Amino acid sequence: MSAPLRNATLRQLATFHTLARLRSISQTAEEMHLTQPAVSLQIGILEESAGTPLLTRSARGVKLTEAGELLDGYAQRMLALWREAGEAMAAQRGMIAGTLRIGAVTTAEYLLPHVLLEFVKLHPKVKVKLQVGNRAEVTSALAVQEVDLALMGRPPSELRATATAFARHPMAFVAAPSHPVLQLAAPTLADLNECNLLVRERGSGTRSTVESLYREAGLDVAIGAELSSNEAIKQMCAAGFGVAFLSMHACVLELQAGLLVQVPLPGQPVERDWYVIALSGRAMPAAAAAFEAFLREQGPALIDQRRYQPTAATAPAAAAAAAKKPRARRSG
């Protein structure tokens, strides 16, 4: 009797791993550029080689058996190792190639495209796979090695990882130009508590920062609305629904267009760091290592180029109106 999986191929494992992830034969066939019968045939041959069923089929899709779950873990690691081997061989020839797998928190998606464009110009053989999510989702993707690098504002304490700061991250309170808070001579954090404060979900970088600002000022923060999307916050803020605390990277266009205005609080914008994070003790693929080095060396300048810089043309209309007709700051 031959050993299980003796005749299994990487192609079969790749098809099986894709099916385990998508749980759909039709979607697997589309992603693998195969016909559905070809997918079923490869899975059948792999099951025969394993000597046990790897999945069960139903009208709602497929479900892995206990043996299938076990094999999928090995398949994921074997395929990643084989991919790294190919990238290492390319690096031996002086060529950075392969897939750059990055996880980024939603706010980072506003600064990444420009950086990735410049990186790919240097390494045209590199393909980019970008996974965007909230902080918990990106941390989980890094932990299970779905991505090789993660970009976020605070390194995850729950992982054994190396975190390298590569750029500054400005954040500030913003409002619609017509918002009454901009008519105050010197608005304070206490004033903003009365302005329906719009913030991201708990655990996000901007939410943690705004809570820290209030805590340091000895105040409780009064959350007006919690939203899981920067875009939703910007739209509601521009409509006059409230004052928002946002990454300045996320609202450059709105500030330039005059749809949003930075609230003139002392010490604003608040500056933190952007970090690129990799798991400790794991050799990074060549493309990921090259991108990490690129972020350290060129990231600060590239990201600073995209930073909002107020000019006379973009000066807030509300501030001009306030200068003509000063009003006393609201008390109490």
3-class DSSP state of 306: coil
State mean pLDDT over 87-113. Answer: 82
Cβ count near 74 (within 10 Å): 12
Check: CB of residue 271 under 8 Å from CB of residue 170: yes
**Alpha-carbon 297 to chain mean position:** 21
Ordered by start, the domain boundaries in the chain are: 10-78, 86-167+273-305, 169-272+316-324
* Cα–Cα distances in angstroms (integers) from residue 104 to residues 286, 328, 330, in the given order: 19, 43, 40
Summarised one tens digit per residue, pLDDT across range 301-329 is 988 877 777 654 444 444 443 343 333 33
- One-letter amino acid at 162 equals T
What is the percent of the chain where pLDDT is above 70?
Answer: 90
The rounded distance, in Å, linking the Cα atoms of 62 and 15 is 14
The rounded distance, in Å, linking the Cα atoms of 153 and 273 is 6
pLDDT at residue 323 in the model: 43
- Computed over every residue of the chain, the mean pLDDT equals 86
State mean pLDDT over 93-116. Answer: 87
Query: Phi first, then psi: what are they for 139, rounded to 5°?
Result: -60, -45
Summarised one tens digit per residue, pLDDT across range 252-272 is 999 999 999 999 999 889 999
State mean pLDDT over 218-238. Answer: 92
- Nearest alpha-carbon partner for 46 in 11, 12, 74: 12
Same fold, 10-78 and 169-272+316-324: no
pLDDT at residue 318 in the model: 40
The domain made up of 86-167+273-305 is a member of CATH 3.40.190.10: yes
Q: What is the CA radius of gyration of the chain?
A: 25
Cβ count near 281 (within 10 Å): 8
Name the pTM for this structure.
Answer: 0.68
State mean pLDDT over 231-236. Answer: 94
pLDDT at 181 over 50: yes
* Domain topology for 169-272+316-324: D-Maltodextrin-Binding Protein; domain 2 (3.40.190)
pLDDT at 89 over 80: no
Domain 10-78, CATH among 1.10.10.10, 3.10.580.10, 3.40.50.300, 3.30.420.40: 1.10.10.10
Cβ count near 238 (within 10 Å): 21
pLDDT at residue 311 in the model: 57
The rounded distance, in Å, linking the Cα atoms of 88 and 82 is 10
Confidence at 71, pLDDT banded by 50, 70, 90: very high
The rounded distance, in Å, linking the Cα atoms of 57 and 75 is 20
The rounded distance, in Å, linking the Cα atoms of 156 and 279 is 11
Q: Any residues with CB less than 8 A from the CB of 217 and at least 6 apart, and which?
A: 189
Confidence at 225, pLDDT banded by 50, 70, 90: very high
